[in-house]
């Protein structure tokens, strides 16, 4: 059979700023966004279609209030309406079409926050705040009630506009900056965060399928506590910035799919979700050059993210789908003249974790796969180089606008980064599996952009 994947993102933002006085400033923002992705597969005489979309309508009101030169207070409110179609699925074949009913998701997400950045003397700055959130599930939809063995024991229907579930959250945060002298400082922070939108991923090779779930009666919000501390130092008259920062993050109500979960054509996916804990920790190194013809920055992150869910991987810890121990970013800019600049961006990341078949077993002439531990293997490491040349206009003062041309090449050395790995039967030996690597159809991608401002 053959498969196709598509995805896209659209957004519209409208913002209005207003200055009430020298101390009070406001910002009203309206945002409309839509993200959709799809999958289609041809198998034998049937064709399977799977589409999903997330639509958000957001209104935000933010204020900045400068109480004193030592106190900057930020506060505001926001409200978002989520319209989520987790799966619109149907099967076509033999001149007929079968639609699989999936529950739609409608949610209201409200929040109010206040924070203060307060200077104490010449050396200490405190940043602290509080955020209160309310998340509500709305009809018209239906949901399943699951028993202790995750089987469906009831189906509940909700009327249009009916609020049938509500979650509340109170998230504090605290940060402190201590300036040792004019060149160096120490920063420490703590934050508690609640996430109402959950992301579960298929990690067993094949299509890179990510599915968004809102919190619901069956799925509690994810909560996280994060601690961080870092040392920051400027060198050579502040032309070089350096830092090293370490962090630890503990997460509760983390979601993942059970072993061998059916992700496609399964309207009861919530019953295949399992819930547990996770932790992430790492260290970041950073250096940046701000002055001279050659500018840019280099960062390196060494990290680990692992989950522990009782019903998955025999209850043992395993790498999260986004665990990438090594990450490197190098961005360099060289300004030959005021009008002519060359830039290079190199990215490196450890391969994405995946669950791979490690053997087969045969039953009634059918060959079945034996899988590794959860996320026990990784795809090939990811890396690429992007190059660009910028040519600015003469920039005469009497011109109404100023423009620049940007000529760029994405993935300049044509790296074949893994996008999908399918495991198929060997043609010569059906008891063996062969890894079939797939990557994006374009090896490198040139582009020309014209930017202008007025």
**pLDDT of 240-277, one tens digit each?**
999 999 999 999 999 998 887 766 667 788 888 999 99
More confident residue, 97 or 83: 83
Tell me, what's the pLDDT at 211?
75
- What does pTM read for this prediction? 0.87
Least confident of 7-16, 395-404, 409-418: 395-404
Least confident of 177-186, 286-295, 371-380: 371-380
Tell me, what's the pLDDT at 40?
77
Degrees (nearest 5) of the Cα angle 357, 264, 82? 125
Is 153:206 a contact under the CB 8 Å cutoff? no
Closest CA to 224 of 162, 173, 181, 290: 173
Closest CA to 105 of 207, 212, 265: 212
Per-residue pLDDT for 207 more than 60?
A: no
Q: Kindly compute the dihedral angle of the four CA atoms of residues 149, 150, 155, 157, in this order, to the nearest 10 degrees.
A: 140
List, for residues 321-356, the tens digit of each pLDDT value: 899 999 999 999 999 998 999 999 999 999 999 888
CA 233/CA 186 separation, integer angstroms: 9
DSSP string, 186-230: EEEEEEEEEE-EEEEE--SSBS--EEEEE--SSSPPEEEEEEEEE
Structure tokens, 88: 């619109």
């Amino acid at each position: 059979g053959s498969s196709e994947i598509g995805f896209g993102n659209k957004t519209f933002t409208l913002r209005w700023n207003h200055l009430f006085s020298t101390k009070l400033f406001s910002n009203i923002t309206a945002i409309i966004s839509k993200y959709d992705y799809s999958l289609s597969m041809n198998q034998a005489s049937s064709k399977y279609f799977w589409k999903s979309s997330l639509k958000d309508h957001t209104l935000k009101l933010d204020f900045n209030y400068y109480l004193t030169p030592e106190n900057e207070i930020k506060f505001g409110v926001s409200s978002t309406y989520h319209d989520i179609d987790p799966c619109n699925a149907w099967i076509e074949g033999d001149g007929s079409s079968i639609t699989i009913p999936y529950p739609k998701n409608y949610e209201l997400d409200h929040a109010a926050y206040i924070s203060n950045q307060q200077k104490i003397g010449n050396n200490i700055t405190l940043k602290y705040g509080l955020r209160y959130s309310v998340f509500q599930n709305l009809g018209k939809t239906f949901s399943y009630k699951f028993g202790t063995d995750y089987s469906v024991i009831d189906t509940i229907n909700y009327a249009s506009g009916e609020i049938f579930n509500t979650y509340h959250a109170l998230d504090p945060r605290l940060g402190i900056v201590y300036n040792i002298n004019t060149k160096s400082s120490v920063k420490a922070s703590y934050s508690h965060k609640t996430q109402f939108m959950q992301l579960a991923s298929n990690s067993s090779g094949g299509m890179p399928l990510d599915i968004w779930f809102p919190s619901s009666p069956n799925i509690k919000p994810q909560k996280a506590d994060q601690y961080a501390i870092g040392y920051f130092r400027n060198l050579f008259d502040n032309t070089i910035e350096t830092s090293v920062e370490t962090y630890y993050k503990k997460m509760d109500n983390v979601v993942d799919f059970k072993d061998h979960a059916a992700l496609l054509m399964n309207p009861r996916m919530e019953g295949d979700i399992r819930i547990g804990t996770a932790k992430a920790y790492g260290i970041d190194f950073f250096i940046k050059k701000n002055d001279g013809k050659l500018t840019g920055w280099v960062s390196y992150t060494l990290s680990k993210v692992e989950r522990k869910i009782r019903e998955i991987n025999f209850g043992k810890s395993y790498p999260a789908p986004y665990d990438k121990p090594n990450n490197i970013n190098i961005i360099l800019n060289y300004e030959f003249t005021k009008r002519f600049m060359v830039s290079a961006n190199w990215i490196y990341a450890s391969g994405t974790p995946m669950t791979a078949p490690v053997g087969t077993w045969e039953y009634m002439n059918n060959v079945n796969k034996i899988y590794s531990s959860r996320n026990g293997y990784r795809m090939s490491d990811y890396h690429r180089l992007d190059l660009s040349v910028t040519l600015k206009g003469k920039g005469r003062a009497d011109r109404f606008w100023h423009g620049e041309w940007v000529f760029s090449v994405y993935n300049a050395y044509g790296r074949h980064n893994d996008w999908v790995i399918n495991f198929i039967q060997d043609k010569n030996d059906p008891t063996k599996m062969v890894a079939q690597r797939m990557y994006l159809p374009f090896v490198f991608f040139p582009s020309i952009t014209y930017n202008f401002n007025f």
